[in-house]
Amino acid sequence: MDGPSYDVLLRPSPGESARPGRAFLTDDALLLTPSRHGRFTRLVGDAVDGLLAGLPESLGLYSPHAVSRTEATHDPETLRVRYADLRALAPVVRPTGFTLSLRVDGREEEIRLRFRSAEERDETVGLARELRARAREAGVEVAVYDPGGRGRLLSLAESE
């Protein structure tokens, strides 16, 4: 029952800067893994990608979010969020883009994911719906909360 992956900017805690990576849905947990590329590689890759009008990324030669599901499973930096530990989520549109904040048992800080694609809204709402459904299967009812700030909470209603 492994699901899709999402290219995201991860911010596991408020004191950390956002890092590119991927979110993977597995049978029992959400895996949040930073890119295998370091800062220097991302800087050079992004510069070359910018100079060549996005051609390397569109051809699959470079991805700032490069990490596979297998790497995510075995990487010690991977943050594993069990669906049964998920308590609340907040899909929000902000002036800077779409974010999904997660409140998890055992963590004081919320986890914030920012999306980077042409389908940001669909990815944000789709991942939030999928997380709620998988948490419900694990016996947990996940609440939707408003994190405040300059943003508007997105509806998770299926009719939209």
Q: What is the pLDDT of residue 53?
A: 63
Question: Which two structure tokens, joined as six digits, stand for 11?
Answer: 């911010």
Q: What is the pLDDT of residue 41?
A: 54
Q: What is the pLDDT of residue 119?
A: 82
Low-confidence ranges of the chain (pLDDT < 50): 1, 40, 42, 159-160
Question: Which two structure tokens, joined as six digits, stand for 22?
Answer: 């991927």
**Neighbouring C-beta atoms of residue 69, cutoff 10 Å:** 14
CA-wise closest residue to 23 among 124, 96, 150:
124
Are 2 and 27 spatial neighbours (Cβ–Cβ below 8 Å)? yes
Q: What is the pLDDT of residue 105?
A: 92
Q: What is the pLDDT of residue 103?
A: 94
Q: What is the pLDDT of residue 35?
A: 74
Distance CA 10, CA 79 (A): 10
Q: What is the pLDDT of residue 108?
A: 87
6 exposure class (CB count in 10 Å sphere: 0-12, 13-18, 19+): buried
What is the reported pTM?
0.76
